[in-house]
Amino acid sequence: MTKPIYFYNSQKGEKELFKPKDPLEVKIYSCGPTVYNFNHIGNFRSYIFVDILRRSLKLLGYQLNQTMNITDIDDKIINQSIQNGVTIEEFTQPWIKAFQEDLDTLSIEKVEHYPRATDSIQEMIHIIENLKKNEFIYEKEGSIYYSIGKFKEYGKLSKLDTSGMISGARYDTDEYTKDDLRDFVLWKAPKLKGEKSWSSIFGEGRPGWHLECSAMIRKIYNSGIDIHTGGIDLLFPHHENEIAQSKGAYPNEEFVNTWLHCEHLLVDGQKMSKSAGNFYTLRDLLTKGIDPKSIRYLLLSFHYRTKLNFSIARLEEASKSIQRIQNTIDRIIETKEIEDFSGIPVGYSLSKYEDFLNSLADDLNTPKALGTIFEFIKEINVKLDNNQLSEEDGIDTLKYFNSINSLFSIFRVEKLNLINEAEIESLIEKRIEAKKNKDFKTSDEIRDTLLEIGIILEDTKSGVKWKRK
């Protein structure tokens, strides 16, 4: 059984009831990373949004077939691989690995498909062939462009007035600025010596950036999809161009039913971005000793359609909020003998769980969902203070926390493992050794394991100190 869910569809400009073609296979495509560097936490706001979308739909009874693309060819990648004297694949592989590690660190669930642009070149060429047949393209100096004036619906998603558009003005880089209405490149003739290129009936070259999403959707789903997501900066021109390509190449097929766009993470009121230099990578924050759970909590605790100003102080608040919820869970769990709290609540906590689900069903309203949780916690703490939480209600409440944790993946709904001082010291020694060997993955894992069982490490000038939470 699925529960109805409402989404703010950017195409419609309003909330509407979500009607997937098949609730047992909801098709979702999300624009993913360009792999030439570490992603910053602004990027991760978009990916956490995708994770919340995924986990919410699953909690509401839907089954998913989800894709996030990996852009492994663009101007920056080409330039840097030439500079470093390595192939595109050699250059991008470590960045893809780092991206996947970061997803794990932030407890972002893996989706079903992570296609790479370089694996979908033939599908992209096929789209250009169809666009040629349908008379949407022209050639200039060896490159192929999409003539946006030929596509009557251009501007419908972004609601741009295209009447004053610059016809024949061309765009052939991978960098686009908002509000630029120009014909965009589909197939780019090579410009640099040694630049990676592919053969096609349009000559040697490589695809323009927009093309990969249209091609991958077609390749993976063979037709249109239920939901397409991306950061708000992608709404125009990227998503507008995706529509122009897909509808131009396959005019009789539906493309995207629901468009969802995530607002930006800001720093001092400005979009966090690599080009502005105002960014933190996830790893920057981890080296400052910040718990990834606080980052996840902060990024999901604001509604995805509101701007979020990032600050370290906000991460500290996030950490306190996590602790408030965790303390209540620990207070209840301490009195329980059993360990298995799986399954959804059916008694005392059922209505609170429904409030939580209803908030998610209202356009993924995570702040509202958190509001219902904090209200409930207040009530439970009063009961605990007065010894009024019965055994049965306590267990039902732990089922509630376990269930909401399917969304958060932040809390520990189990008893703390008791660990003695010698064991702690031995793990600290192992971590020091791992750090010496620059094995930061292991050293981070040890720190996280200790943190999970309530042991906080502090790197001080006089060595590593530890304390219980």
When binding is defined by CB under 6 A, the residue of 9, 10, 11, 46 that contacts ligand AMP is: 46
Residue 74 contact, options Zn ion, ligand AMP, none, Cβ 5-8 Å cut-off depending on partner type: none
331 CB-near residues (< 8 Å, 6+ apart): 381, 384
- Burial of residue 317 (number of CB atoms within 10 Å: 0-12, 13-18, 19+): middle
The span from the CA of 55 to the CA of 228, in Å, is 16
Taking contact as CB under 5 A, which single stretch among the options 30-38, 76-84, 187-195, 355-363 is the one that binds Zn ion? 30-38
- Residue 401 identity: F
Taking contact as CB under 5 A, which single stretch among the options 160-168, 205-213, 217-225, 444-452 is the one that binds Zn ion? 205-213
When binding is defined by CB under 6 A, the residue of 265, 361, 446, 457 that contacts ligand AMP is: 265
Containing 265, the helix (H) or strand (E) segment is: strand 265-267
When binding is defined by CB under 6 A, the residue of 10, 43, 258, 443 that contacts ligand AMP is: 43
CB atoms inside a 10 Å sphere around CB 363: 20
- Residue 147 identity: S
213 touches Zn ion (CB under 5 A): yes
Residue 213 contact, options ligand AMP, Zn ion, none, Cβ 5-8 Å cut-off depending on partner type: Zn ion
When binding is defined by CB under 6 A, the residue of 5, 11, 42, 299 that contacts ligand AMP is: 42
Name which of 71 and 294 has its Cβ closer to ligand AMP: 71
Taking contact as CB under 6 A, which single stretch among the options 39-47, 116-124, 388-396, 411-419 is the one that binds ligand AMP? 39-47
Q: Which of 57, 381, 356 is nearest to 227 (CA)?
A: 57
Residue 216 contact, options ligand AMP, Zn ion, none, Cβ 5-8 Å cut-off depending on partner type: none
The span from the CA of 68 to the CA of 64, in Å, is 13
Strands 206-207 and 183-188 turn out to be: antiparallel
271 touches ligand AMP (CB under 6 A): yes
Positions in 204-243 near ligand AMP (CB under 6 A):
230-231, 233-234
The span from the CA of 191 to the CA of 186, in Å, is 15
Q: How far is the CB of 300 from ligand AMP (least distance, A)?
A: 13
The span from the CA of 364 to the CA of 250, in Å, is 32
* Residue 61 φ/ψ, nearest 5 degrees: 100, 5
Report which residue's Cβ sits closest to ligand AMP. Answer: 231
The span from the CA of 188 to the CA of 200, in Å, is 11
Q: How far is the CB of 113 from ligand AMP (least distance, A)?
A: 17
Residue 217 contact, options ligand AMP, Zn ion, none, Cβ 5-8 Å cut-off depending on partner type: none
When binding is defined by CB under 6 A, the residue of 26, 38, 45, 396 that contacts ligand AMP is: 45
Taking contact as CB under 5 A, which single stretch among the options 5-13, 77-85, 209-217, 435-443 is the one that binds Zn ion? 209-217
206 CB-near residues (< 8 Å, 6+ apart): 73, 121, 187, 188, 190, 195, 196, 197, 198
Outline where DSSP puts E strands in 202-255. 206-207, 225-231
Question: How many residues would you count in the chain?
Answer: 469
Question: What are the distances in angstroms from CA 336 to CA 344, 394, 397, 469?
Answer: 18, 8, 12, 21
31 touches Zn ion (CB under 5 A): yes
Q: How far is the CB of 307 from ligand AMP (least distance, A)?
A: 9
Q: DSSP secondary-structure letter at 237? A: I
Name which of 238 and 447 has its Cβ closer to Zn ion: 238
Q: How far is the CB of 39 from ligand AMP (least distance, A)?
A: 7
Q: Which of 446, 300, 428, 450 is nearest to 373 (CA)?
A: 300
Number of residues that bind ligand AMP (CB under 6 A): 17
Taking contact as CB under 6 A, which single stretch among the options 162-170, 187-195, 266-274, 313-321 is the one that binds ligand AMP? 266-274
Residue 345 contact, options ligand AMP, Zn ion, none, Cβ 5-8 Å cut-off depending on partner type: none
Question: What are the distances in angstroms from CA 74 to CA 24, 78, 162, 288?
Answer: 35, 6, 27, 32
When binding is defined by CB under 6 A, the residue of 273, 278, 319, 449 that contacts ligand AMP is: 273
Name which of 231 and 237 has its Cβ closer to ligand AMP: 231
Taking contact as CB under 6 A, which single stretch among the options 43-51, 100-108, 147-155, 384-392 is the one that binds ligand AMP? 43-51
**Residues found near ligand AMP in the complex (CB under 6 A):** 31, 33-34, 42-43, 45-46, 230-231, 233-234, 262, 264-265, 271-273
**Residues found near Zn ion in the complex (CB under 5 A):** 31, 213
